Chains A and B, each alone.
Chain A
Amino acid sequence: ITFLTLNFLSSPAIQIRFILIQNRAGKTRLAKWYMQFDDDEKQKLIEEVHAVVTVRDAKHTNFVEVRLYACLSCLQFRNFKIIYRRYAGLYFCICVDVTDNNLAYLEGIHNFVEVLNEYFHNVCELDLVFNFYKVYTVVDEMFLAGEIRETSQTKVLKQLLMLQSLE
Chain B
Amino acid sequence: MCSCYYSSVWLHVNTGECNLASKHVPLQYLITLHWFETLFLCVFQRMPAPIRLRELIRTIRTARTQAEEREMIQKECAAIRSSFREEDNTYRCRNVAKLLYMHMLGYPAHFGQLECLKLIASQKFTDKRIGYLGAMLLLDERQDVHLLMTNCIKNDLNHSTQYVQGLALCTLGCMGSSEMCRDLAGEVEKLLKTSNSYLRKKAALCAVHVIRKVPELMEMFLPATKNLLSEKNHGVLHTSVVLLTEMCERSPDMLLHFRKLVPQLVRILKNLIMSGYSPEHDVSGISDPFLQVRILRLLRILGRSDDDSSEAMNDILAQVATNTETSKNVGNAILYETVLTIMDIKSESGLRVLAINILGRFLLNNDKNIRYVALTSLLKTVQTDHNAVQRHRSTIVDCLKDLDVSIKRRAMELSFALVNGNNIRGMMKELLYFLDSCDPEFKADCASGVFLAAEKYAPSKRWHIDTIMRVLTTAGSYVRDDSVPNLIQLITNSVEMHAYTVQRLYKALLDDISQQPLVQVSSWCIGEYGDLLVSGQCEEEEPIQVTEDEVLDVLEGLLVSNLSTPVTRGYSLTAIMKLSTRFSSVNRIKKVVSIYSSSIDVELQQRAVEYNALFKKYDHMRPALLERMPIMEKTASNGPTEIMQTNGETEPSVPDTKHLPLVTQPANQANDLLDLLGGNDVVPVIQTTLPTKPASAGGELLDLLGDLSLSGGLAPAPSVPVSQPPFLLDGLSSQPLFNDTSAAIPPMTAYSKNGLKIEFTFERANPNPNIAVITIHATNTTEADMTEFVFQAAVPKTFQLQLLSPSSNIVPALNQGSVTQVIRVLNPQKQQLRMRVKLTYTHKGSPVQDLAEVNNFPPQSWQ
Contacts and interface: CB of A to CB of B under 8 A. Distances in A.
B333 A36 contact: no
Q: Top 9 closest A-B pairs, CB basis?
A: A103-B333, A145-B173, A145-B209, A144-B205, A59-B403, A12-B212, A151-B290, A104-B333, A61-B372
Interface in B322-340: 329-330, 332-334, 336-337, 340
Given A36-B141, A144-B205, A149-B201, A101 B291 contact: no
A43 B280 CA distance: 38
Nearest to A140: B170
A116 B235 CA distance: 19
B239 A28 contact: no
Nearest to B332: A103
Contact of B333 (A28, A31, A61, A107): A107
B106 A43 contact: yes
B163 A154 contact: no
A88 interface: no
Contacts of B288: 151-152
Given A101-B297, A106-B329, 7 more contacts: A36-B142, A59-B404, A60-B403, A108-B290, A137-B129, A149-B205, A151-B238
A132 B101 contact: yes
Contacts of A59: 368, 403-404
Contact of A129 (B57, B97, B205, B249): B57
Contact of B206 (A60, A130, A137, A144): A144
B372 A102 contact: yes
B279 to A, nearest CB: 7
B16 interface: no
A105 to B, nearest CB: 8
Nearest to A108: B290
A106 B368 CA distance: 13
A104 B206 contact: no
Given A31-B104, A104-B337, A155 B290 contact: no
Contacts of A124: none
Contacts, number: 161
Contact of B208 (A75, A104, A147): A147
A60 B404 contact: yes
B729 interface: no
20 contacts: A12-B250, A28-B106, A37-B140, A59-B404, A61-B406, A61-B407, A101-B337, A102-B369, A132-B101, A133-B97, A133-B130, A136-B133, A137-B129, A137-B133, A140-B174, A144-B201, A150-B238, A151-B283, A151-B290, A152-B281
A30, A155, A163 pick with most chain B CB within 10 angstroms: A155
Interface in B400-430: 403-407
A48 interface: no
A108 B288 CA distance: 11
Interface in B230-249: 234-235, 238-239, 242, 249
Interface residues of A, number: 55
Interface in B168-227: 169-170, 173-174, 198, 201-202, 205-206, 208-209, 212-213, 215
Interface of B: 54, 57, 61, 97, 100-101, 104-106, 108, 110, 125-126, 129-130, 133, 136, 140-142, 163, 169-170, 173-174, 198, 201-202, 205-206, 208-209, 212-213, 215, 234-235, 238-239, 242, 249-250, 279-281, 283, 288-291, 293, 297, 329-330, 332-334, 336-337, 340, 368-370, 372-373, 403-407, 784
A159 B281 contact: no
A148 interface: yes
Contact of B289 (A31, A37, A104, A154): A104
A54 to B, nearest CB: 16
Interface of A: 11-14, 27-32, 34, 36-39, 43, 46, 59-65, 75, 101-104, 106-108, 111, 129-130, 132-133, 136-137, 140, 144-145, 147-152, 154-155, 159, 162-163, 166-167
A60 B106 CA distance: 29
Given A61-B407, A103-B332, A149 B281 contact: no
B333 A106 contact: yes
B369 A106 contact: yes
Given A144-B174, A145-B173, A151-B234, A102 B373 contact: yes
A103 B404 contact: no
A167 B130 contact: no
Contacts of B250: 12
Contacts of A145: 173-174, 205-206, 208-209, 212
B370 A147 contact: no
A147 B173 CA distance: 10
A167 B104 contact: no
Contact of B290 (A28, A64, A104, A132): A104
A5 to B, nearest CB: 13
Given A61-B407, A155-B235, A163-B163, A111 B283 contact: yes
A128 B598 CA distance: 73
A112 B404 CA distance: 26
Contact of A62 (B213, B239, B369): B369
B125 A167 contact: yes
Nearest to B278: A152
A42 to B, nearest CB: 9
Contact of A132 (B104, B215, B239, B249): B104
Nearest to A98: B376
A111 B242 CA distance: 19
A29, A108, A145, A159 pick with most chain B CB within 10 angstroms: A145
A78 to B, nearest CB: 13
A111 B330 CA distance: 11
Contacts of A129: 57, 61
Contact of A107 (B249, B281, B289): B289
Contact of B330 (A13, A43, A107, A140): A107
Contacts of B289: 104, 107
A106 to B, nearest CB: 6
Contacts of B169: 144
Contacts of B141: 36
Nearest to A162: B163
B105 A27 contact: yes
B291 A151 contact: yes
A23 to B, nearest CB: 12
Contacts of A60: 368, 403-406
Contacts of B279: 154
Contacts of A155: 235, 280
Contacts of A167: 125-126, 129
A152 B407 contact: no
Contacts of A64: 406
A111 B61 CA distance: 29
Contacts of B330: 103, 107
A29, A30, A63, A107 pick with most chain B CB within 10 angstroms: A107
A104 to B, nearest CB: 4
Nearest to B297: A101
Contacts of A132: 100-101, 104
Contacts of B130: 133
Contacts of A30: 104
A32 B100 CA distance: 12
B119 to A, nearest CB: 12
B283 A133 contact: no
Nearest to A105: B333
